[in-house]
Amino acid sequence: EQGSPAEAAQLKPGMLVTGFDTTAVNDLRDFGGALIQKGPTDNVTLTVVGLQRVNASFVQPVQVRAELKLRDR
C-alpha cells in the first residue's frame, strides 16, 4: 500500500516473513502472536525472504531484515 510502513521498508508482494523481532515465524499464528504483543507505534524488525532478479534470465533468493514502525489503522 502506498505510504505504508511496508512500502517504506521496501517490502514487496510475495516476500515471505520468516522472523518478527526475535520470534521465528513459521505460520500466520506465529506472526499474529508476535504482532499482538506490540503497540501501534512500536518499531519491529522483520526478516523476510524473497527473490531478487540478477539479470533477464536469473533470479536468486535473498534474505532481508527490515525495520519498520507499526501504525494504528
pLDDT, tens digit, 9 for 90 and up, residues 54-73: 888 888 888 878 787 776 54
pLDDT of residue 5: 80
Q: What is the pTM of this model?
A: 0.71
Give the three cell numbers for residue 45.
Answer: 524488525
pLDDT in tens, 16-65: 899 999 999 999 999 999 999 998 888 899 999 888 778 888 888 888 78
Distances 37 to 2, 18, 31, 62, 73 between C-alpha atoms, Å: 25, 17, 10, 28, 16
